Structure 1
Amino acid sequence: MDQSYIPQGYAPRLNLYDTQKAIGLLKRLFEDTLGGALNLRRVSAPLFVEASTGLNDDLNGVERPVTFDIPAAGRDAQVVHSLAKWKRMALHRYQFSVGEGLYTDMNAIRRDEQPDNLHSVYVDQWDWEKVLAPRDRNLEYLQRTVSTIVDAICQTQTTIRAMFPQLSPLPGISREISFVTTQELEDRFPALTPKEREDAWVKDHPTTFLMQIGGALKSGSPHDGRAPDYDDWTLNGDILVWNTVLGRAFELSSMGIRVDPAALDRQLSLAGCDDRRTLPFHKSLLAGELPLTVGGGIGQSRLCMQLLGKAHIGEVQASVWDEETIRVCQEAGVILL
């Protein structure tokens, strides 16, 4: 999707006031449900981190962070892209034990994002992280965690529909999850692009966990980019659901079991990022000083879009939009917050 569009015949099921009420309720419900289900405690999150620490998420490696100097501190800072690495350091600093975790209300700016129905330069998500025992660093544990998150989403969906019955005709998110790897999708749909493969699969499997993102497939290219220094590319994935309003696969969460020293060493070499080995975060991780963890990010605006039946992310968050997006939405009678 390269630009914003509004499907023919689309009409919001909630008016502006009810939308704002539903967003507030949905966010409170979901974070409480998720925190209880995964044994997570809420902590305060930074809006920016010191540039020299290596804590910022590099995403696909090409996005430019918003950087500024802090004269009083004599340091340069970066607005976060996400908190993938900060959370792991926080678990270490706060001395969380195995089975305990944290979540944050994360806000970020991704200046190079291409705005469309699903993307904005403003990002809001629940970032969460949990300490693992070595025995739990495996696919079975990852899949159980995915099931717990999907169940929390479905519980939230049930309550929201009880409060706003006009949402009930929308197809709901299913608790039945299809687990599939990126290589299996490439083998099944070799002529399609990665996003086309997702659409083809998720249309028939409306709640899917797409696994093993970041490493090269048999074709020589990865399914999608993933930074080499947080997820283990063999133990990660995206939670995808089918969005009936837009008629496409819809990513709600990127998550995974995090790299241990061996996986970090391997992935830094594969990604050509050996220069990161000297950064404080990476040195600590390679030395085995940080806990083993699992974690991820769950899009707040994405979840609101999906559960409230919205066609554009601007209907559930305030941001800055290009003139074409504003025109398209105005002509369709869609109100951007």
Structure 2
Amino acid sequence: MHLTIPKDYDPVLSVRDTQEAIKYIRDTFQKELGKELNLSRISAPLFVEKSSGLNDDLNGSEKAVSFTMKEMGDETIEVVHSLAKWKRMALKKYGFAMHEGLYTNMNAIRKDEELDNLHSAYVDQWDWEKVIDESERNVETLKAHVETIFKVIKHMEHEVWYKYPQAVNHLPDKIHFVTSQQLLDIYPNLDPRERENAITKELGCVFVMKIGGRLSDGQKHDGRAPDYDDWQLNGDILFWYEPLQQALEISSMGVRVDEKALHEQLEIEDCLEREELPFHAAILNKELPYTIGGGIGQSRLCMLLLKKAHIGEVQASLWPQEMIDLCEENDIRLL
């Protein structure tokens, strides 16, 4: 457990006002996101069959919460880590056309998460996915979608300022782009998290690109599953977060793998056996649309806009008693 206590922290809003603000942000943001990216809201599963290959492996070390069902025999069922793969299947199943997309409320349990101000065992995010042409699998497409998401977040800042001027967090006016290798070149003596903090503190908001592969020092900037994002066309949106004096990741997103990138990344990670799974076989056989997509943290966005010190102030989860006590002593009001 790790907990940062901001000096002279003031939550500003009462718990009840905070709850109203959370609802307002969530309702408004998803409508704006859907409008700007041409996305329709759909329902999505909380759990999937392990054998489908649809669950997200995240960094490869987290274990999914699993169980069996009375009517499903010996089939292992897993609570999703994210819907990165499921969404691409849904685009085909539901007949989405070129440049149409979907978004959904994704809820997950990540039981191995190390708990701190930003990390909870409960994950809530908007997962979105959009059909693109094969020719659009490039950096220009990625950057255009990043800019659009940043624009929607900035618009939300103004909306929240109108309703809660005493509580709003003022955000930078521009997002900057940098690759994970460029970060290593700029800050060779820092580790990946320290590099993110340094560049985000300097620029305010950055999109760190090309995450998953090994850098010139032989290390990865961060782990990424090999079977959804193309490691050459992905990244994270990070804001400098003054209350905690660190970078705050709001979104992980990217152009999704095509058949070539999927095979290459599975080979790098020594898991080519996944090519036999239904989802992976469908990509290799060119049966699924080419897409771009990502996840945007709902609680993280509420934290960012309302300047909260702990993610537990904007979502209901479970925390160690020691953390609960420390938060209460410092006016951090966990839900």
Alignment of 1:82-231 (within 5 A): 82-168=82-168, 170=169, 172-231=170-229
Q: Contact (CA 8 Å) 2:105, 2:127: kept in 1 or not?
A: yes
Distance in 2, Cα, partners of 1:314 & 1:230: 29
Distance in 2, Cα, partners of 1:272 & 1:262: 15
- Structure 2 partner of 1:297: 295
- Structure 1 partner of 2:8: 9
Alignment of 1:4-83 (within 5 A): 4-74=3-73, 75-83=75-83
- Structure 2 partner of 1:243: 241
Q: Contact (CA 8 Å) 2:250, 2:301: kept in 1 or not?
A: yes
Distance in 1, Cα, partners of 2:272 & 2:135: 28
Distance in 2, Cα, partners of 1:248 & 1:279: 39
- Structure 2 partner of 1:232: 230
Partner amino acid, structure 2, of 1:28: D
Distance in 1, Cα, partners of 2:72 & 2:54: 18
Instruction: State the Cα distance separating 1:288 from its structure 2 match.
Output: 0.9
Residue range with higher mean Cα deviation, 278-287 or 293-302: 278-287
Instruction: State the Cα distance separating 1:174 from its structure 2 match.
Output: 2.4
Partner amino acid, structure 1, of 2:204: P
When normalised by structure 1's length, the TM-score is 0.98
Query: Cα RMSD over matched residues?
Result: 0.9
Q: Contact (CA 8 Å) 2:4, 2:244: kept in 1 or not?
A: no
Distance in 1, Cα, partners of 2:276 & 2:213: 23
Moved over 3 A (4+): none
Percentage of identical aligned residues: 55
| 1:167 match: secondary structure | coil
Instruction: State the Cα distance separating 1:336 from its structure 2 match.
Output: 0.7
Instruction: State the Cα distance separating 1:27 from its structure 2 match.
Output: 0.2
Stretches of structure 1 lacking an aligned partner (at least 5 in a row) = none
Q: Contact (CA 8 Å) 1:147, 1:175: kept in 2 or not?
A: no
Distance in 2, Cα, partners of 1:104 & 1:123: 13
Stretches of structure 2 lacking an aligned partner (at least 5 in a row) = none
Deviations 1:67-108 (A, max 9, x none): 000111223210000000000010011111110000000100
Distance in 2, Cα, partners of 1:237 & 1:95: 28
| 1:166 match: secondary structure | coil
Paired residues in the alignment total 334
| 1:256 match: secondary structure | strand
Residue range with higher mean Cα deviation, 73-82 or 296-305: 73-82
Instruction: State the Cα distance separating 1:278 from its structure 2 match.
Output: 1.0
When normalised by structure 2's length, the TM-score is 0.98
Instruction: State the Cα distance separating 1:247 from its structure 2 match.
Output: 1.1
Distance in 1, Cα, partners of 2:236 & 2:152: 16
- Structure 2 partner of 1:315: 313
Deviations 1:250-292 (A, max 9, x none): 1000000000000000000011111211111111111111100
Instruction: State the Cα distance separating 1:306 from its structure 2 match.
Output: 0.3
Q: Contact (CA 8 Å) 2:9, 2:331: kept in 1 or not?
A: no
Deviations 1:137-186 (A, max 9, x none): 11011101000000011111111110011124x3x222411100000000
- Structure 1 partner of 2:327: 329
Instruction: State the Cα distance separating 1:327 from its structure 2 match.
Output: 1.9
Deviations 1:83-138 (A, max 9, x none): 00000010011111110000000100001001100000000000000000112111
